[in-house]
A = this chain, B = another copy of it.
């Protein structure tokens, strides 16, 4: 088959590779219904360092099972499935405690920007639907696999509850999903920090009550004004840079919480700073597997439309154009049809 391979920064190719096959008895092979490009795929795309080896890209996926290993019990060929970008056994103590993204057998999904993909730990990772979703539902189901689950985790880690004042730092796809999640969790005020008009509009559609376009100290000042000088009890940091983290900490009230889900790049904290700020901090790779049944159900019942974050759709063979569009911020998030 042809699939997406990154050979170096800025060098994404759709080229012939070997078809995926069952390597372990716990594997499944799925035929992708759709796949997409993640903001985190842009880190190596923009990186300056040399690559050790070509990378098979893609970790967001949904599709139909075509083959399973001999030990797979929970899914069978012909079923439509969604999986988390983190592969987990869903039985270890960390999974049982609610953190499949820290599973003792944790692996990270790769190779999903392709017509077919191997999913290790299929029993723990994949959740099947009873019926085949409609083609209209596919983008929303795909969004559950990572970007919605990650926004949901940001809101959960930030402690959003009924009546909360939430701030979302970052207007990428995850930030927008953070807005939607905060809304679903009952936040009363949702302040989206966003500079781009099209993203501001989507943020408002998803439930943002306020938009703050300014960044840094000025942005913090505007949030403080909106919150009567108090700050927000729940802050979702959806970028992963020092500036965005400083902004998140700056708008959080003492005793409040910052949930951070952007993989941090050169972000540092001092113990003393955290101590006197007196703000909770919790982040990590989202435990999406725990959320899948609930979020897939909301999509299937038509309650949420997370797939609206895909503002560009391309056929898989034009994946390189999608990377370029997201890199240049011409697209929020690019879906790839298979």
Contact = CB atoms under 8 A, between A and B. Distances in A.
Interface of A: 93-94, 97-99, 101-102, 228-230, 233, 240, 245, 253-255, 257, 260, 263-272, 274-285, 287
Nearest to A281: B281
Contacts of A254: 94, 97, 99, 101-102, 284
A275 B285 contact: yes
The dominant DSSP class at the A interface is mixed
A94 B271 contact: no
Contacts of A230: 93-94
Contact of A275 (B253, B263, B271, B279): B263
A3 to B, nearest CB: 27
A327 to B, nearest CB: 22
A265 B240 CA distance: 25
Contacts of A270: 264, 267-269
Contacts of A101: 254, 278
A283 B255 CA distance: 9
A276 B268 contact: no
A93 B281 CA distance: 21
B98 A255 contact: yes
B267 A271 contact: yes
Contacts of A257: 282
A275 B280 contact: no
B274 A99 contact: no
A97 B230 CA distance: 10
Given A97-B254, A97-B255, A255-B94, A274 B278 contact: no
B240 A102 contact: no
Contacts of A245: 271
Nearest to A237: B271
